[in-house]
Amino acid sequence: MTEELRQEGGFRYIEKGEGTPLILLHGLFGALSNFKQVVDHFSDRYKVLIPMLPLYELPVLETNAKNLAKFLDKFIKFKGFDSVYLLGNSLGGHVALIYTKKHPEVVKALILTASSGLYENAFGSSFPRREDKEFIRQKVAVTFYDPKNATDELVDECFQVVNDRNRVLRILAIAKSAIRHNMSKDLPAMKMPACLIWGKNDTITPPEVAEEFNEKLANSNLYWIDECGHAPMMEHPETFNAILDKWLKERAL
């Protein structure tokens, strides 16, 4: 990611382009670079922003998906936006859904890819094993259909996180809060256009999760990417961007 990380108002974020704000929300282990191709593709028509969610800054007892959504609300108000598109991957999708439930009048469109909020296979009781880089590599590889996407850089980032006790406590707190907070009953009230882009081979938020989102959201379209896991915008960025581009144009958004 070559764009400069801005720091103002207590927020750190990437911003590129002009137009209606398109806010990208990363997952639990998501880096800003996960969305590089999305930023490059859409910043000629939209004001694309990626706020860094305070995954490791909140007190442990306040580290949960709902408080991350409150952080998003503060960021949107800080920027002075009265209408936004939200695009969330994994935990970022869950944060987008919680925000949308509270502020439906602000969300012009909702884009979810491998979102939590209904069901997910978390790391489980075996996570984390500290000082075991090969174990971390295997866990990172599960994110993708093709394990080659579990690059040394990604593995090193995750390895660094799980060997920091304060970060691990917060990761576990967020993961548990996301699993406990099922939004099934909230979805039918969300009437804005919703685009669901899912990997057919996602084992973390598997295909039946996408189908339930599509069934319960009032105004959604579901698109599949074959040979794709839990991070479609990373594993198949060109296909992901083409699907979203076409959907936005068809919806005249």
pLDDT digits (tens, 9 = 90+) for 59-90: 877 888 899 999 999 999 999 999 999 999 99
pLDDT digits (tens, 9 = 90+) for 39-51: 999 999 999 999 9
DSSP 5-63: -EEETTEEEEEE--SSEEEEE--TT--GGGGHHHHHHHTTTSEEEEE---TTTS-GGG-
- Average pLDDT for residues 106-113, to the nearest whole number? 98
Q: Token pair for residue 224?
A: 């599949």
pLDDT at 145 over 70: yes
If one compares 146 and 115, the residue with the highest pLDDT of the two is 115
Each domain of the chain, given as residue ranges in start order, spans: 6-120+182-250
| Angle (nearest 5°) at CA 220 between 215 and 224 | 85
Q: CA-based Rg of the chain, rounded to a whole angstrom?
A: 17
- Average pLDDT for residues 101-124, to the nearest whole number? 88
If one compares 170 and 32, the residue with the highest pLDDT of the two is 170
- Average pLDDT for residues 125-152, to the nearest whole number? 70
pLDDT at position 175 is 75
Q: Directed axis angle between helix 133-141 and helix 152-162, to 10°?
A: 120
**In terms of pTM, does the model score above 0.85?**
yes
- Exposed/middle/buried for 153, CB within 10 Å: 0-12, 13-18, 19+? exposed
pLDDT digits (tens, 9 = 90+) for 82-94: 999 999 999 999 9
pLDDT at position 126 is 46
What ranges in 181-236 are assigned the alpha helix state H? Answer: 207-216, 232-235
Contact (CB, 8 A) for 170 and 128: no
Topology (CATH) of 6-120+182-250: Rossmann fold (3.40.50)
pLDDT digits (tens, 9 = 90+) for 179-224: 778 899 999 999 999 999 999 999 999 999 999 999 999 999 999 9
